Amino acid sequence: GQQLNQSPQSMFIQEGEDVSMNCTSSSIFNTWLWYKQDPGEGPVLLIALYKAGELTSNGRLTAQFGITRKDSFLNISASIPSDVGIYFCAGRKGRDNYGQNFVFGPGTRLSVLP
């Protein structure tokens, strides 16, 4: 099946630091979504991106839809302890009337040290 790669797989940072992670694919996507999953919970949508080059912010989070349409980036500024969790990207390919064609990445696990 379609593969999405996320980098890094995991990261440990100090509270207050900025965080950068990315999601890449060998295929073109029409939509990119970024989700966060807390331990024992389901993923929660953070940001949705709908066109190449789009840059969207949600508080301290900023995500970009790559120009090539094969990648997306998520940045978190001034990290805080509640940023801990797993961040997933998801890409939508082709015709998709019912949300059934999303491919999810394996996730980046973020740990924040006080």
Which residues here bind other proteins, judged by CB under 8 A? 1, 4, 31, 33, 40-45, 48, 88, 90, 92, 97-100, 102-107
Taking the least distance from each CB to other proteins, the nearer of 79 and 110 is 110
Taking the least distance from each CB to other proteins, the nearer of 72 and 79 is 72
**Cβ-based neighbours of 32, under 8 Å, separated by 6 or more:** 23, 48, 49, 63, 65, 72, 89, 90, 91, 92
Question: Minimum CB separation from other proteins for residue 111, in Å?
Answer: 17
Taking the least distance from each CB to other proteins, the nearer of 90 and 112 is 90
Report how far residue 14's alpha carbon sits from residue 38's, in angstroms, rounded to the nearest whole number: 19
Question: Minimum CB separation from other proteins for residue 78, in Å?
Answer: 26
Report how far residue 29's alpha carbon sits from residue 94's, in angstroms, rounded to the nearest whole number: 7
Confirm if 16 and 83 have CB atoms less than 8 A apart: no
Report how far residue 9's alpha carbon sits from residue 43's, in angstroms, rounded to the nearest whole number: 17
Question: Minimum CB separation from other proteins for residue 97, in Å?
Answer: 7
Taking the least distance from each CB to other proteins, the nearer of 99 and 114 is 99
